[in-house]
Structure 1
Amino acid sequence: MTDAMTRAVPRTAPPPPTADWVRCDGCHGLVYGPRYARDLNVCPLCGRHGPVTAHERLEQLLDPGSRADIPTVRTDPDPLGFTDTRPYPQRLALARAATGLTDAVIAAHGTIEGRPLVIIAMDFRFLGGSLGVAVGATIVRAADEALAARVPFVMVTASGGARMQEGVLALMQMARTAQALAELDEAGLLTVTVVADPTYGGVAASYASLADVVLAEPQARLGFAGPRVIAQTIGAELPPGFQRADFLLAHGLVDRIVPRAGLRSILGHLLVVNDRPGEPVEPQPVPAGDDRPASEQAWEVVRLARHPDRPTTSDYVEDLCTGFVELHGDRTGADCPAILGGIAVFGSRPVVVIGHQKGHTTRELVARDFGMARPSGQRKAARLLRLAAKLGLPVITFIDTPGAHPGVDAEEGGQAGSIAENIRLMARLPVPTVAVITGEGGSGGALALAVADRVLACANAVYSVISPEGCAAILWKEPAATPQAAEALRLRAPDLLALGVIDGIVAEPAGGAHTDPAAAAQLLGAALAQALDEVTGASPAERMNRRRGRIRNSGGGT
């Protein structure tokens, strides 16, 4: 790499001032230009996110005074000698004159909320933001800069696809940029895409979709083929909102929809993963709790574990973590509501948190499938586990599920295989892992998040191969035998500790966690901090060897 490729240069001049009045392309209303600019080109009448230039984008996102541009790569201006209605060099000259840009992307070093990063922003005004050789080379140069500085890499995309005037050489930029992202993966550096409208073709099918986290602006479009081409090809009407942000989120293809005004904050929370974890915090005094089940009768403990007011994963994350950024989707077509996960800070540590999410009301329970994950939920969890491994972040899992989702669609989606993959993945994860059973630990659906360095159970939690009702129906063939089945299964926390299935019991407030959720969270937080301190001190090889040994010895009989 030459000095010219690595040297940061001062930013170029910003674009000219905004016009006095702007007509919104969404609602067609007139908006006062300075207000439109102050609102980051978002219409105050209908909320439509209008286009922004690459320069405007960097001004909006980066801390003032932190921006230092990375030179755009200059390449052969006409590698094919291409002419359509006018020669390609003439098109380039017109685009450069109209935009003041060398090509359709600019790259820069900078900071967001004081945290360093390298960022690229595409500009749709320049030949539709198309991906040509110079664009691909500049993105690779920027990725190399992020690799050298060991900082996160953020990409703001807006493109119609690969540049036709550069033919197969433009096509090869998809492989070129994908390889650059792979090198960042190997180095354990965070990558983030911000999808602006539109992002299509070769950009969507390469670096835009390969980031660890994919954010989308409201109503932004992302896809390989455009909707007009698809509709003409298949001869069918496309569903409402096809390829737009809401559609993408519902189908698990993006992590979040983020209004433009909130992008800086979300990116700031994500960039915390590059921070060095602080020193372990001294344990704080916690209220006295009862580490024994509230009742000696196993069936009564089961009922406590299922209490609708018992804290959920989202409750614990809100109480115990800061800066939580929930990530959605399995990136293959679905987003399971029964699994909640993302990046947060626990104490002084950036962590990945994953858990089953039930809810408290009937509406919440139904919306979350009662915490019963589908295959897409297992795949979402697996994606977050791999992200934790890449970034070197500890993992905390919260387990509270009757079991994996039972249903035809779950079986068609490969439920058994998805659970098996997660069990294998957790067994081999190189980062510290702590799992806590906060309520119900039902069968394989629970185990898929419970193969960890430390496994804890709250005092009134249960963990079993089958529900007491299912056991009674199969073996006793009598629903009235459910309490007897609960006793026989030895599913209470003290039983689990005696069997060597868990490592510790987390005390609860008298009467159960639901009687004082704040105190329950404080007790759980202290237990999690201690467990993380214990497992973080070992090397990855030591942790994995201990975990493997523990799994091999499960139940004895070696």
Structure 2
Amino acid sequence: MTATGPATRDLWLRCAVCRALVYRRRMRRNLEVCPDCGHHRRLTAPARISQLADPDSFVDLGEPAAEVDPLRFVDSLPYPQRLARARTATGLAEAVVCGTARIGGHRAVLAVMDFRFLGGSLGAATGELITRAAEHALATASPLVLVTASGGARMQEGALALMQLATISGAIADLRAAGLLTVSVITDPTYGGVAASFATNTDLVIAEAGARMGFAGPRVIRETIRQELPAGFQTAEFLLRHGQVDLVVERRDLRARLRALLALAVAGRVGAGPAAPTATHPTVVVPAARQGETPDAWQCVRAARNLARPTTSDYAHTVFDGFVELHGDRLGADCPAIVTGLARLGDQPVVVIGHQKGHDAREMLARNFGMAGPAGYRKAVRMMRLAARLGLPVVTLIDTPGAHPGVDAEEQGQAAAIATCLRTMSRLPTPVIAVITGEGGSGGALALAVADRVLMLQNAVYSVISPEGCAAILFHDRAAAPRAAAALRLTAPDLVRLGVADGIVGEPPGGAHRDPTGAGERIRAALLAALADLLTLPTAELLRRRARRFRRYAAGPAEIGAGAGATDVPVGGPADDTDRPIQVRR
């Protein structure tokens, strides 16, 4: 006869979602994630710290929780008794545990909320502890990682609880102003004042898979405005689609992802600088452009549009190391035509921003053919501002026929979004390098190309309008596109001669689409060379040169070259036997 007593039942638990019986030890080994349906059970603050921090590295800040009862609040129990019961049940002094730790060897300050303690509600003592943690991060120049789990502000403390939203937000603002990374990890559930303050005003917002977050909870919404809610409303996946979070991460991957982000973000411009080009590319030269030699413009246009040509997502893993894609404009959307993230270029952390097309009709449609909407340019601006705060260089990869011209884009402020990109890049206090990898179409391309160095792949093009558009407007015949392409002087050698581009990155024989990895290696070598030069410039000089660069375009090509100080400086990728340097302008 099989025993079914309490001891046996304690060995098993039932998943709250799929209702499967799971061996308790198996659930614990799986970090409290159901092995059958993937449901992430709530973790206590100590369990979360144990999961995220390196072993034996967490040190509690030791700040005592204040005794606060401003309203003498009584529901079924006086508030002090509720606090006492919560402390007895959880073994915690308050709804948050704060301390220093290492995550993958990287120093950080942790503030981890515990939903067991009065629903993780934010009271005056909770807010004070989190604020002190932020102040400790500022004093020690450490990143701050907040792990949220809360139903909102603590009702028993009235308006004093509400004030904590502003207090903590101010402390986070100080960290951001100091260029220190702030990260929030959203766990289930995160609602109310916590969601509307420190959970979402950090540099990066990571949601654990299945977590829910919102200002008003579903029950409040239903009971106040009687609105039906869509499936998956306020889940992590919903938030990602609507541009509210950077990443959705499974619990088993959370520590590794935080470690990677800390490694990329903490070095900044004060790091060791980029590594020299590898031994496989001992020289960096520009492809052949003999005196008077210009490639066929229409052939370049067709090559630039080749569906097999590498995209930003491809280059993210061949040009850079450790790329982590980040999402969302924080205003309601995540434009798929713009890819952004953090990565390393040699030893230097960088911010990467690029247009994204696709390799087939389905992907092109999903990415809107690389034509970004306002949300894409707002996402780019958000990453530029992060680069400025953390002191990271910016690399942009440009391949777009132009900005999205649809009705929805106009309704959402397409022109203003592009204008904000231009303004932000023009005064960004870190080096900016733009690489035109395919099509550089009009203002949609320039929005990511206000740079200190502009490089073009050998078969890339860059123009004020597409050849078809020019042919239709000026030649009154769309069939005249090849003629318009030649007239627009849109090839890489043309743009170098005009002073718009600084150099040409050679492509592998047959074009980048024939050897995407080789193309990526050539871009990497060119970026390393350019960045090594730019990192030596003081910020004031960097900005002065960038402003002068764009101020001089009213002059003719000869005057541009003379004013810039043309030199035979190699910029591109490794050459074949037909390659030779051309004049490159600084």
Decide: shared fold, TM above 0.5.
Answer: yes
The residue that corresponds to 2:99 in the other structure is 108
Partner of 1:496: 495
Aligned residue in 2 for 1:381: 380
CA contact (8 A) 1:423 1:449 kept: yes
Q: Deviation of residue 72 (structure 1)?
A: 3.8
2:240 counterpart (249, 253, 276) = 249
Alpha-carbon distance change, 295 to 232 in structure 1, aligned in 2, over 3 angstroms = farther
In the alignment, residue 274 of structure 1 is paired with which amino acid? V
d(CA) in 1 for partners of 2:432, 2:315: 17
Structure 2 CA distance, aligned partners of 1:207 and 1:288? 46
| Equivalent in the alignment of 1:474 | 473
Alignment of 1:90 onto 2:86 = no
Alignment check: 8 A CA contact 2:284 2:526 kept: no
* Partner of residue 15, structure 1: none
Q: Does 1:274 align with 2:273?
A: no
**Corresponding residue for 1:554?**
553
Q: What residue is the counterpart of 2:228 in the other structure? A: 237
- Kindly provide the amino acid, as one letter, of the partner of residue 413 in structure 2: G
CA shift, 1:161, in A, is 0.2
Match in the other structure for 1:465? 464
2:185 is aligned, of 184, 194, 212, to 194
Q: Summarize deviations over 1:184-219 as a string: whole Å, max 9, x none.
A: 011100111110000000100110011111111112
Cα distance in 2 for partners of 1:289, 1:552 equals 28
Q: Does 1:80 align with 2:71?
A: yes
Corresponding residue for residue 308 of structure 1: 307
State whether residues 96 and 126 of structure 1, in contact with CA within 8 Å, keep that contact through their aligned partners in structure 2. Answer: yes
Is contact 1:192-1:211 (8 Å) kept?
yes
Question: Offset of 1:317 from its aligned partner?
Answer: 1.1
Structure 1 residue 507: Cα displacement: 1.0
Q: Is the 8 A contact 2:493 2:504 kept in 1?
A: yes
Alignment RMSD, CA only? Answer: 1.6
State the partner residue of 1:405.
404
Identity %: 59
Question: Are the counterparts in 1 of residues 436 and 455 from structure 2 also a CA contact under 8 Å?
Answer: yes
Give the deviation of 1:231 after TM superposition.
2.1
Letter in 1 for 2:272: G
| Stretches of structure 2 lacking an aligned partner (at least 5 in a row) | 1-8, 561-586
1:325 Cα deviation from its structure 2 partner: 1.1
What amino acid is the match of 2:475?
A: W
> Structure 1 pair 19/330, CA: closer, same or farther in 2 (3 Å)?
farther
Q: Which residue matches 1:214?
A: 205
Matches within 5 A, 1:436-455: 436-455=435-454
Equivalent residue, structure 2, for 1:10: none
In structure 1, distance between residues paired with 2:89 and 2:353: 48
**Aligned counterpart for 1:228 among listed residues 215, 219, 234:** 219
Q: Which amino acid aligns with 2:235?
A: R
Runs in 1 of length 4+ with deviation above 6 angstroms?
Answer: 287-290
Name the residue aligned to 1:291: 287
Q: For residues 4-34 of structure 1, what are the alpha-carbon distances to aligned partners after superposition, in whole Å with 9 as ceiling and x for unaligned?
A: xxxxxxxxxxxxxx95222111111111111
> Does the Cα contact within 8 Å between 2:183 and 2:205 map onto a contact in 1?
yes
Conserved 8 A contact 1:269-1:324 = no
**Structure 1 stretch displaced more, 504-513 or 200-209:** 504-513
TM-score by length of 2: 0.90
SS in 2 for 1:553: helix
Write the distance in 2 (CA, Å) between the matches of 1:113 and 1:321.
21
Whole-Å Cα distance in 2 between the matches of residues 202 and 524 of structure 1?
A: 46
Shift of 1:552: 1.2
Is the counterpart of residue 43 in structure 1 residue 26 in structure 2? Answer: no
1:292 is displaced (CA, Å) by: 4.6
- Structure 2 Cα separation of the partners of residues 257 and 280 of structure 1: 30
- CA-to-aligned-CA distance 1:233-286 (integer Å, 9 cap, x gap): 222211111111111111000111100000011101110111352254222343
SS in 2 for 1:209: coil
Equivalent residue pairs, number: 541
How many Å separate the matches in 1 of 2:133 and 2:273? 33
Q: TM-score scaled by structure 1? A: 0.95
Unaligned runs of 5+ in 1: 1-17
Match of 1:370 in 2: 369
Q: How far off its partner does 1:35 sit? A: 1.1
Letter in 1 for 2:275: V
**What is the CA distance between 1:512 and its match in structure 2?**
1.1
Once the two structures are superposed, residues 90-138 of structure 1 have per-residue CA deviations (whole angstroms, 9 ceiling, x without a partner) of 0000000000000100011111111110011100000000000111000
